[in-house]
Amino acid sequence: MNHDVFIAGFGGQGVLLIGNLLAQATILEGNHASYFPAYGVEKRGGAATCTIVMSDTTVGSPVVGEPEAALLLNPLSMEKYYGHIRSGGFALINSSLVEDDGSSRDDLKRLLIPANEMALEIGDARLANMIVLGAYVEYSKVVEFESIATTLKEVLPERNHRFLPMNQKALEAGAEFCRQALVG
């Protein structure tokens, strides 16, 4: 097992949270993971990015030049990082905010997912990140959904555990969408 994913959006979209969940769930399953948040220039101006490398052996570089998967949550991320995805890789594009459908490349699997609208349907716009995570986990099978759920429970403070069912719903909705709509 050897996977890496780059996640980008703007601050407040929960980019770093889903990166954390993914890495921590990987470790929970006994594998190795590194979580590297964007640091420096890119952190200014409200951009949030992180890279997660997951492996069943020790992780080498936490920095990845050409990620095998990228989850692009806003137009700026699409513009900046779409071209860097490894050929044969996977792009998840948040079509609620990004107009570009990524058809300029035919060497990728693409998932155009209206994460914001879907989140609102479930009941909270802030769940868009969990929908995205659900879709990626469904696509990559890098961890079990159960591990994400366990990790989420660990990370969320006790008083917020009442939100767990909604988060679970969002993860499932993302996964279901991925099964239906994957392009390429």
Partner 1 sequence: MEESLTKRLFVKGNEAIAMGALEAGCRYYFGYPITPQSDIPEYISREMPKLGGQFLQAESEIASINMLLGASACGARAMTSSSSPGISLKQEGISYMAGSECPGVIVNVCRSGPGLGGIDASQADYFQSVKGGGHGGYHIIVLAPDSVQEMYDLVMLAFDLSDRYRVPAMILADAVIGQMKEGLTPHPYVAPADLATKEWALIGGGKAGEQKVVKSLYLGDGELEAHNNKLHAKYAVMQEKEVRFEAVELDDAEMVVTAYGSAARIAKTAVRLAREQGLKVGLLRPVTLFPFPNVAYKKYAGNGQKVLCCELNNGQMVDDVRLAIPTTEVVFYGRAAGAGSLPTPEEYLAQIRKHYEA
DSSP per-residue string spanning 93-112: EETTT-----TT-SSSEEEE
Both tokens of residue 85?
A: 């995805």
How far apart (Å, rounded) are the C-alpha atoms in residues 59 and 43? 24
CB 66 → partner 1: shortest distance, Å?
A: 6
Residue 87 lies near partner 1 (rule: CB under 8 A): no
* Segment interacting with partner 1 (CB under 8 A) among 39-47, 90-98, 103-111, 159-167: 39-47
By CB under 8 A, the count of residues binding partner 1 is 22
List, in sequence order, every beta strand (DSSP E) within the chain.
Answer: 2-10, 32-37, 47-55, 69-72, 90-94, 109-113
Q: Which is nearer to partner 1, 24 or 96 (CB)?
A: 24
* Segment interacting with partner 1 (CB under 8 A) among 33-41, 141-149, 164-172, 173-181: 33-41
Residue 156 lies near partner 1 (rule: CB under 8 A): no
Residue 81 lies near partner 1 (rule: CB under 8 A): no
Selected from 6, 35, 82, 139, the binder of partner 1 by CB under 8 A is 35
CB 104 → partner 1: shortest distance, Å?
A: 22
Pseudo-torsion of CA 42, 103, 122, 51, nearest 10°? Answer: -30
* Segment interacting with partner 1 (CB under 8 A) among 56-64, 91-99, 141-149, 170-178: 56-64
Residue 32 lies near partner 1 (rule: CB under 8 A): yes
How far apart (Å, rounded) are the C-alpha atoms in residues 33 and 2? 10
Q: Which is nearer to partner 1, 39 or 159 (CB)?
A: 39
Q: Contact 36/51 with Cβ under 8 angstroms?
A: yes
3-state secondary structure of 30: coil
Cβ count within 10 A of residue 121:
14
Residues lying near partner 1 in the complex (CB under 8 A) are found at: 20, 23-24, 27, 32-37, 39-42, 59-66
